[in-house]
């Protein structure tokens, strides 16, 4: 069965005077990879950042509408964004390992959330996260080496491992492969497919092929509007909206 | 003042050369500027440049070299036995200069004629009398060799200046004439002028090197001179600072350790005040403050950096010192004897350094990429966790660099310690004791009518050398760290 | 099926209920933020304390208790006094008699002797004698004398000295305060605006009342002229070379390293340089604004070069390319296009550099601009550069180092004047920047 993890209704986002997201309503399901596609500046990344309230860190950004995770309004005054982000992890466009050791990069989240009672448990969490990030074999011998010393693809997998270490329920990925070469991209895509077993994964991507390869559901954004949202196979073979078709066939974008 | 006139005269000659060269090239081209290689003004500038610059260069060199020559000649006129036991050749030469100046003054006030001043048979007592009526400062009665030397000094100087005037003017005219002669339409005047300007630009940029060279040479020579009079080991490892002043007799103790200790102690107190306050201010301003608060608080803090150090010195001496005494002095806790103390100077210096630490740290914290912060927020870290565990560790090298720069400032600071730290050199752990620093002692050893031959005065140069080496080392190290840090995120 | 039943159940607990650990972390967050705020407040607090102590201690320097007495000296009195052996004593006698007259006229009777007057006014006789010797035509006409009161009387008016704290000495006795009160009631001793402080010259070590900062303002002015005349052209030329022409080689690197290090060399070291090179080596006159200006020029150059280079760098390369594209030489491009566009920035940097130089004290101590009494205005433009003079900060230091507490007030007052100059310069710089700042 597919159950709904995140339900967004009539979401509006304003950057100062700019109306960046208009009336977006979408339901994101558990154990599914949902891809957001669309031309640059269409609002897909902005919308993604609404889902774990990363937009709070930008002063001029205002969000209206209703976004619920497990039925709870995440913009409720009582919700602490810190707790929310522990539940909704995020991987960014550019790999951004902290200038610390590989071990400390992974252990950072569990430490601040108090997930381990002792060193052994923490070691365990780190190992599990690195295995889930499909990078354990490459770094197990140099856990104390700085995370910034890894290659671009390794860094991004480290960041994914870092995100899963806090055991989120949803994983947001903002163009996670845009800074990677094709081989690293393939590794990360493989990883995303595995992560689907445990999480609702939302991925913003520029590449339509990637969306077709990794996602089950696809949402097409254009100029701040959600144009079409359906099964990936349907979007890519038989889109209903003419704009979607134009984008898919490369006439706009 | 003839020098000013000479200078203006050179400029006038250069201006004349400019006009003549310009007219000549215009005449040769038949008033048709299209047939010229360069704009007519460039031909003029070429002539002006070639007339003024060599002349001015010779003028400057001559002005620097002439006193050397005159001093050597005059010094040779004074026999060794004319130098009194307590005096030195340097002091006698100063006396000669004063006598010569006195004669100039006497002539200016009409107490003496030029011929009388040059009269080698003049009576010493009579000259002394005339000089003192003219109001010249003569310490005692002149002696025969000093009077002769002074007369010779005047003669040499005035002939020297006459020759200089003639030579310099000739060079100016010759340079101008040569440039006018080479002026013709095909002459590439613009290229020559631009080459000349380029040389001037390089010369201006080289002043930085010359300044450093000047600092190093003046420190090194005087320090060597000092070590000739006073053993270097005693200076570097001596634990007692007790200079004897002329008249009191006895040998001086000139150990640098108590001064270094005072310097470091005060700097440490200053850093203990400035680093937490400055760092937390920077964190608040860059991470928490709303744009409005930032726009107000940042310039306000920077006002503290724009206040001259003499103001802080006075603040230490007259406000902070008495305040501390009223709390820690005999009426209070009884730890403090007087207002001037390590604590007073350190506290005030700390206040001075707050904006220094905060604006440097602010820059460095802002250089940490936003992606780093996003990564941490994305994991559910609070802002303070992000700052403490991600931003600060990432910025650490830069902040260390900033603190080292602040430390170098503290070590080199003068006015606050001169006024606020006290004058007694001592090795003590009590921060409420008066101590003194390297900079304060440089000031006290070099102010007043000092003759630079005594170890008590020369020690200041050795202190300056030590100070220069320490601060230079700190600066180079700190700038290196900061640069490395910047490169990491570029 | 309702919406609610379709949602999956929360695994990690509700978002609405903030768990204990998050509460704790949020408390830590608040504490951390508070530390930052406290740090800022500490900084601002120090600024306020500094400002208050400057104003509170410095403003009294702008007033001075003065004894004003109008009287007429007849030719006979003048001749009689001049024929005495102790001439100033004779004038003092005349002064006391006239003062006695003025008091009785106002209906006040206070007993005082010559010693008391000397404690209050110093030596009024010599001031009066000098006046009449210089202006013999004033004999026989009424003249108003304003004589500055002694530092203790002045302090009594300003609250520095009170009846409880006054200690009898040869300088002052508690009983003198009765006389002062009486004279104040009679309107003979009044607190006037102290023009002499702003325009006057330094006084002797025992006369804080007469000290003024005017001469040292002139000294500072001449110094700043030297700094401006040298550091602006040299600084701009050096910056143009480094920014526009310098090739990438060891020589350029050497210059760059030197500039960045000179910017951080302690100012006292520049004082040593000035002493050794300009005074010892070149035999330039001690205590002269010319030498002070040279030293401060060397000190300010790095600042000016750094800010000038920043303004040159801010001119976009497209301007240079446009000029080069129409066939201008590199030199013409720089002087016709880049430099005019960078001029406001250069000017702002220069003013800020000058302001920094104006407040600098330490190097001036070493080249002898303290420790003597700057009494005379320069006679001409040239002598203004080479005659011994003080400078504002050096004068303030001189006062701070004197024993008489009356000078402290002068030092604070001098600081107010110095800060007014600095503030004006900085405001001009800010206005220039606002007015001409260009965003590319």
- CB within 8 Å: A83 and C22: yes
| Per-residue pLDDT, B139 | 58
Contacts of A172 (CB under 8 A, 6+ apart): A48, A49, A51, A52, A88, A89, A90, A91, A202, A203, B378
| CA–CA dist B464, B461 (Å, integer) | 5
**Mean pLDDT lowest among C42-56, C250-264, C379-393:** C379-393
Q: Which of B93-97, C41-45, C223-227, C274-278 has the lowest mean pLDDT?
A: B93-97
Chain A residue closest to B390 (CA)? Answer: A98
Q: Confirm whether A120 is domain-assigned.
A: no
Candidates B4, B63, B290, B308, partner chain C, best to mutate (most C CBs within 10 A): B308
Q: How far apart are CA A132 and CA B422, in angstroms?
A: 66
Residue B259 in this model has a pLDDT that exceeds 50: yes
Question: Where residue A17 sits, what CATH number does that domain have?
Answer: 3.40.50.300
Measured distance CA(A236)–CA(C383) in Å, rounded: 90
Residue A48 lies in a domain: yes
Distance CA B74, CA B59 (A): 22
Mean pLDDT of B300-308: 90
- Please check whether residue A189 lies inside any domain of the structure: yes
A67 within some domain: yes
Q: Kindly give the parts of chain A with pLDDT less than 50.
A: 1
pLDDT digits 0-9 by tens, C286-329: 888 999 999 999 999 999 999 999 999 989 988 999 999 888 88
Residue B360 has pLDDT above 70, yes or no: yes
Report yes or no: C233 and B183 within 8 Å, Cβ to Cβ. no
The pLDDT, as a whole number, for residue B283 is 94
Instruction: Say if residues B237 and B316 touch (Cβ distance below 8 Å).
Output: no
For residue C33, the distance in angstroms to the closest alpha carbon of chain B comes to: 7
pLDDT at B85 over 70: no
- Tokens found for residue A131: 């295995």
| Residue span of the structural domain in which A210 resides | 4-97+168-248
Answer whether C308's CB lies under 8 Å from C346's CB.
yes
Q: B355 vs chain A: nearest CA distance in angstroms?
A: 26
Are B311 and C272 an interchain contact pair (Cβ–Cβ within 8 Å)?
A: no
Helix (H, G, I), strand (E, B) or coil at C336: helix
Contacts A72 to C, Cβ<8 Å: 10, 14-16
* Main-chain dihedrals φ then ψ at residue C142, nearest 5 degrees: -70, 135
Q: For residues C213 and C414, is the Cβ–Cβ distance under 8 A?
A: yes
Which tokens go with A106?
């992974």
| Per-residue pLDDT tens digits for C1-14 | 333 333 344 456 77
Q: Is C136 exposed, middle or buried (CB count within 10 Å of its CB: 0-12, 13-18, 19+)? A: exposed
Structural domains of chain A, count = 1
CB distance B378–A85 less than 8 Å? yes
Please report the domains of chain B, with CATH numbers, ordered by start residue.
2-187 (no CATH), 253-488 (1.10.3720.10)
Q: If you search the block for the tokens 């522990």, which residue do you land on?
A: A86
Which of B63-77, C140-154, C409-423 has the highest average model confidence (pLDDT)? Answer: C409-423
Residue B78: which residues within 8 A CB-CB, separation 6 or more?
Answer: B89, B92, B93, B96, B145, B146, B149
Query: Does B383 sit within 8 Å of C29, measured CB to CB?
Result: yes
Most A-contacting residue of B288, B375, B376, B389 (CB-CB within 10 A), to test interface: B375
B97-114 mean pLDDT: 77
* pLDDT score at C4: 38
| Whether the predicted pLDDT of B410 surpasses 90 | yes
Please indicate, yes or no, whether the overall pTM of this predicted structure exceeds 0.90: no
Of C43, C272, C401, the CB nearest to B304: C43
Place of tokens 């790095």: C302
CB within 8 Å: B379 and A162: yes
Residues of chain A with Cβ-Cβ distance to B286 below 8 Å are none
Question: Chain A residues with CB inside 8 Å of C12's CB?
Answer: 86-87, 167, 169
A4, A72, A169: residue with CB nearest C16: A72
Confidence band (pLDDT; 50, 70, 90) for B204?
Answer: very high
pLDDT at C19 > cutoff 90: no
> How many angstroms away from the CA of B368 is the closest CA of chain A?
11
Rounded to two decimals, the ipTM of the complex is: 0.87
pLDDT reported for residue B450 = 56
pLDDT for res C37: 94
Q: What does each C-alpha distance from C224 to B205, C237, C299 come to in angstroms?
A: 21, 19, 13
Mean pLDDT of chain C: 84
- Residue numbers in A near C27 (CB within 8 A): none
Scanning A9-38 for CB atoms below 8 A from C yields: 30
Contact with chain C for residue A6, Cβ under 8 A:
no
Beta pairing class for B241-242 and B253-254: antiparallel
DSSP per residue, C51-80: HHHHHHHHGGGGEEEEEEEEEE--HHHHHH
Contacts of C250 (CB under 8 A, 6+ apart): none
Domain locations in chain C? 20-59, 63-193, 214-436
Contact across the interface for A96 and B371, Cβ inside 8 Å: yes
List Cα–Cα distances, A58 to A53, C236, C277, in angstroms. 10, 41, 57
Non-local CB neighbours of C106 within 8 Å, separated by 6+ positions: C186, C187
> Is the pLDDT at B490 greater than 70, yes or no?
no
> Which residues of chain A make contact with C30, given a CB cutoff of 8 A?
none
For C15, the closest of A83, A114, A167 (CB atoms) is: A83
Cα(B123)–Cα(B346) distance, integer angstroms? 60
* Nearest chain B residue to A163, by CA: B379
A107 found inside a domain: no
Element (H, E) at B484: helix B455-488
Q: State residue B404's pLDDT score.
A: 92
Mutate to test the interface with C, among A51, A71, A167 (most CBs of C within 10 A): A71
Top mean pLDDT of B243-247, C97-101, C241-245 is at C241-245
Q: Does B374 touch chain A (CB under 8 A)?
A: yes
Task: Give the residue-averaged pLDDT of C172-183.
Answer: 78
pLDDT bucket at B358, cuts 50 / 70 / 90: very high
pLDDT of C269 above 50: yes
Residue C44: count other Cβ atoms within 10 Å of its Cβ: 17
Nearest Cα residue in chain B from C301: B208
B40 vs A217 pLDDT, higher one: A217
A140 token code pair: 């197990």
Q: State the fold for domain C214-436.
A: MetI-like fold (1.10.3720)
B349 touches chain A (CB under 8 A): no
Q: What average pLDDT is seen over chain B?
A: 85
Query: Whole-angstrom Cα distance, residue C331 to residue B200?
Result: 12
Name the residue among A87, A159, A172 with its Cβ closest to that of B375: A159
Rg (CA), chain C: 32
Q: Which of A82, A97, A113 to mutate to test the interface with B (most CBs of B within 10 A)?
A: A82
Average pLDDT over residues B42-50: 91
Q: Which residues of C touch A (CB under 8 A)?
A: 3-4, 6-12, 14-19, 21-22, 25-26
CB pairs under 8 A between A and C: 54
Alpha-carbon distance of A66 to A63, in angstroms, equals 9
* Distance (Å, whole) CA C163 – CA B160: 67
User: What is the bridge-based pairing of β-strands C189-193 and C63-72?
Assistant: antiparallel
A64 bridge partner residues? A12
Chain B interface, best mutation among C266, C295, C367, by max B CB count within 10 A: C266
pLDDT for A214: 92
Size of chain A, expressed as the number of residues it contains = 253
Q: Give pLDDT, residue B250.
A: 57
Q: How far apart are the CA of C194 and the nearest CA of chain B, in angstroms?
A: 22
> Hey, are the CB atoms on B379 and A163 less than 8 Å from each other?
yes
> How far is Cα B42 from Cα B26, in angstroms, rounded to an integer?
12
Who wins on pLDDT, B482 or A66?
A66
* Per-residue model confidence as pLDDT tens digits over B274-298: 999 999 999 999 999 988 998 899 8
Locate C309 and state its tokens: 């280079």
């Amino acid at each position: 069965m597919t159950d709904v993890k995140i339900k967004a209704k009539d979401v509006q986002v304003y950057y100062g005077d700019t109306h960046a997201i208009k009336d977006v309503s979408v339901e994101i399901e558990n154990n599914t990879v949902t891809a957001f596609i669309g031309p640059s500046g269409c609002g897909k990344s902005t919308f993604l950042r609404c889902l774990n309230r990363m937009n709070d860190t930008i002063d001029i950004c205002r969000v209206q509408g209703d976004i619920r995770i497990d039925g709870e309004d995440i913009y409720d005054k009582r919700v602490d964004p810190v707790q929310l982000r522990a539940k909704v992890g995020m991987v960014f466009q550019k790999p951004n390992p902290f200038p610390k050791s590989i071990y400390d990069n992974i252990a950072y989240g569990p430490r601040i959330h108090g997930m381990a009672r002792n060193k052994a448990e923490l070691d365990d969490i780190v190992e599990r996260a690195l295995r889930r990030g499909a990078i354990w074999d490459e770094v197990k011998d140099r856990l104390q080496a700085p995370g910034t010393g890894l290659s671009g693809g390794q860094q991004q997998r480290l960041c994914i491992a870092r995100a899963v270490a806090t055991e989120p329920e949803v994983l947001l990925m903002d163009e996670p492969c845009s800074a990677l070469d094709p081989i690293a991209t393939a590794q990360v895509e493989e990883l995303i497919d595995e992560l689907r077993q445990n999480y609702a994964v939302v991925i913003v991507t520029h590449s339509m092929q990637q969306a077709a390869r990794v996602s089950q559901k696809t949402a097409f954004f254009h100029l701040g509007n959600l144009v079409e949202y359906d099964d990936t196979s349907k979007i890519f073979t038989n889109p209903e909206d003419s704009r979607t078709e134009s984008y898919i066939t490369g006439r706009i974008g | 003042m003839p020098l000013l006139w000479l200078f203006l005269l050179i400029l006038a000659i250069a201006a004349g050369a400019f006009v003549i060269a310009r007219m000549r090239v215009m005449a040769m081209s038949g008033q048709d500027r299209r047939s010229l290689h360069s704009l007519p003004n460039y031909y003029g500038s070429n002539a002006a440049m070639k007339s003024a610059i060599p002349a001015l260069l010779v003028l400057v060199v001559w002005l620097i070299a002439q006193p050397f020559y005159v001093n050597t000649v005059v010094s040779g006129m004074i026999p060794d036995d004319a130098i009194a036991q307590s005096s030195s050749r340097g002091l006698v030469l100063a006396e000669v200069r004063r006598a010569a100046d006195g004669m100039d003054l006497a002539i200016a006030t009409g107490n003496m004629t030029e011929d009388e001043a040059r009269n080698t048979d003049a009576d010493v007592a009579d000259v002394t009398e005339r000089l003192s009526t003219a109001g010249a400062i003569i310490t005692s009665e002149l002696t025969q060799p000093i009077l002769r030397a002074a007369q010779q000094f005047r003669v040499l100087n005035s002939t020297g200046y006459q020759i200089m005037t003639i030579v310099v003017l000739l060079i100016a005219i010759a340079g101008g004439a040569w440039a006018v002669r080479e002026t013709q339409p095909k002459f590439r005047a613009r290229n020559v002028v631009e080459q000349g300007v380029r040389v001037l630009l390089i010369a201006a940029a080289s002043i930085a090197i010359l300044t450093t060279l000047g600092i190093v040479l003046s420190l090194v020579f005087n320090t060597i001179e000092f070590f000739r009079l006073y053993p270097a080991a005693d200076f570097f490892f001596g634990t007692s600072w007790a200079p004897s002043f002329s008249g009191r007799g006895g040998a001086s103790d000139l150990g640098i350790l108590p001064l270094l200790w005072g310097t470091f102690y005060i700097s440490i107190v200053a850093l203990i005040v400035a680093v937490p306050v400055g760092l937390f201010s920077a964190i608040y301003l860059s991470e928490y403050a709303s744009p409005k608060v930032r726009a107000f608080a940042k310039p306000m803090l920077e006002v503290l950096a724009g206040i001259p150090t003499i103001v802080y010195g006075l603040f230490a001496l007259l406000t902070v010192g008495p305040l501390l005494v009223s709390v820690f002095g005999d009426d209070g806790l009884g730890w403090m004897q007087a207002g001037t103390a390590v604590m007073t100077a350190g506290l005030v210096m700390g206040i001075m350094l707050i904006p220094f630490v905060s604006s440097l740290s602010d820059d460095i914290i802002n250089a940490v990429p936003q992606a780093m912060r996003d990564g941490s927020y994305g994991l559910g870290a609070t802002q303070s966790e992000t700052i403490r565990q991600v931003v600060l560790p990432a910025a650490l090298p830069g902040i260390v660099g900033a603190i080292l720069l602040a430390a170098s400032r503290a070590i080199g600071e003068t006015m606050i310690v001169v006024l606020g730290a006290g004058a007694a050199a001592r090795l003590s752990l009590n921060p409420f004791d008066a101590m003194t620093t390297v900079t304060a002692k440089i000031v006290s050893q070099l102010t007043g009518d000092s003759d630079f031959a005594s170890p008590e005065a020369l020690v200041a140069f050795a202190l300056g050398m030590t100070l220069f080496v320490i601060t230079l080392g700190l600066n180079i190290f700190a700038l290196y760290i900061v640069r490395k840090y910047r490169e990491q995120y570029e | 099926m309702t919406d609610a039943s379709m949602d999956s159940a929360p695994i990690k607990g509700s978002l609405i209920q903030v768990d204990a650990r998050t509460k704790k972390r949020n408390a830590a967050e608040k504490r951390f933020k508070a530390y930052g705020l406290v740090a800022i407040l500490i900084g601002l607090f120090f600024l306020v304390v500094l400002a208050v102590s400057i104003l509170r201690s410095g403003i009294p320097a702008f007033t001075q208790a003065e004894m004003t007495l109008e009287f007429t000296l007849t030719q006979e009195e003048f001749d009689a006094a001049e024929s005495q052996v102790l001439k100033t004593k004779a004038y003092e006698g005349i002064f006391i008699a006239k003062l006695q007259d003025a008091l009785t006229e106002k209906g006040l009777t206070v007993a005082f002797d010559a010693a008391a007057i000397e404690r209050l006014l110093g030596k009024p006789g010599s001031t009066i004698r000098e006046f009449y010797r210089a202006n013999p035509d004033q004999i026989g006409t009424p003249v108003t004398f304003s004589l500055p009161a002694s530092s203790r009387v002045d302090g009594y008016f300003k609250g520095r000295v009170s009846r409880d704290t006054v200690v009898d000495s040869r300088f002052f006795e508690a009983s003198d305060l009765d006389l002062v009160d009486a004279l104040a009631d009679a309107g003979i001793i009044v607190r006037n605006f102290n023009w002499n402080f702003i325009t006057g010259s330094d006084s002797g070590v025992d006369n804080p009342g007469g000290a003024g900062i005017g001469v040292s303002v002139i000294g500072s002015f001449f110094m700043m002229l030297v700094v401006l005349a040298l550091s602006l052209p040299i600084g701009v030329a050096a910056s143009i070379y480094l920014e526009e022409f310098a090739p990438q080689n060891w020589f350029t690197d050497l210059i760059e390293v030197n500039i960045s290090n000179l910017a951080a060399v302690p100012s006292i070291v520049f004082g040593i340089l000035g002493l050794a090179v300009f005074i010892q080596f070149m035999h330039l006159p001690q205590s002269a604004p010319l030498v002070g200006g040279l030293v401060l020029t060397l000190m300010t150059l790095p600042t000016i070069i750094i800010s000038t280079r920043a303004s040159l760098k801010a001119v976009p390369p497209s301007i240079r390319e446009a000029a080069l594209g129409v066939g201008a030489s590199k030199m013409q491009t720089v002087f016709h296009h880049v430099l005019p566009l960078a001029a406001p920035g250069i000017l702002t940097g220069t003013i800020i550099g000058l302001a920094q130089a104006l407040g600098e004290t330490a190097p001036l101590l070493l080249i002898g601009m303290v420790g003597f009494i700057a009494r005379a205005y320069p006679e001409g433009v040239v002598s203004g550069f080479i005659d011994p003079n003080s400078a504002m900060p050096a004068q303030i230091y001189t006062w701070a180092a004197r024993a008489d507490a009356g000078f402290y007030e002068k030092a604070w007052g001098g600081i107010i004047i110095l800060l007014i100059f600095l503030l004006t310069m900085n405001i001009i710089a800010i206005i220039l920047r606002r007015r001409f700042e260009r965003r590319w």
